[in-house]
Amino acid sequence: MLTFFLICMILGALAGLLAGLLGIGGGLVIVPLLTLLLPLYHIVPAEHVMLVAVATSLATIVITCTSSTRAHHLLHNIPWRLAPAVLTGAAAGALLVGSFAYLVNGRVLQLFFGVAVALIGLRMLFSQAASGVRALPAKPVLAVISAMLASIASLLGIGGGALYVPVLNFFSVNMRLAIGLAAVTGLVIAIFAVIGYVSSGWSYYSFVDGFVGFVYFPAVVAVVSTSMLAAPLGAKLTQKLPVLRIKRIFGLFLLVVSAKMILS
């Protein structure tokens, strides 16, 4: 278990850096590795590996995105005028999906997500503009879009940056501001999704075995012990890199994630 803890600490440092730099919660790194580690160390049975990995990832994102959000706020990277509509939709979508996630066919959603992310990544990779030219939709429409994105993020155990950043950037939101808003949105998604995963998994696992619902607490502690330190570093890097370069880095990152989702 000491080896398990140390691996999760290394994982946390990488997840925190990505959270600050790209506005993601780190779940795109955390979930795949936990799906390998949990059965390897006989922590959960095979039928619950994905659920526990996703729920645990979201619990770590609560801490990581708190640190990342604070850093982006201090750097004035969060457009708070857009927050009410985006966060309301995110909370609704995350809570609903977290409560009923065990009913969803994860493989079908994973393939759909992988293809969609590949298309978004290619568009961002070859974009010649720092932001899109389309105006933001009305706030009710923005809230509905946010709820849909949060639903997918909650099912996959990610903070949502891989979805929110390109969508916000498509609607003329500057890349740095899109990353900052994605960070605070990831925090809201994680909080409400974890509430759902805890309530739906409460009858399956015991706290004495290290679980709170479907959340495996020892992994959470190991990951956040390093991720909360690395997130502010990533946020500072967004101030030093050109916007278009960040956009293309993000595009490459999404292509890697897409390949992982489709092939795993």
Number of domain units in the chain: 1
Domain extent at residue 148: 2-263
| Tokens read off for 16 | 């925190």
Distance CA 63, CA 10 (A): 16
Let me know: does 25 contact 161? Beta carbons within 8 Å.
Answer: yes
Distances (CA, A) of 117 to 66, 94, 130, 254, 264: 25, 19, 19, 6, 15
Distance CA 251, CA 210 (A): 37
**What digits encode the pLDDT tens for the residues 59-116?**
988 887 787 788 888 888 899 998 899 999 999 999 888 778 667 665 676 677 678 7
Q: Average pLDDT, stretch 191-202?
A: 88
Distance CA 53, CA 42 (A): 13
Question: pTM of the predicted model, to two decimals?
Answer: 0.76
The pLDDT confidence band at residue 56, using thresholds 50, 70 and 90, is very high
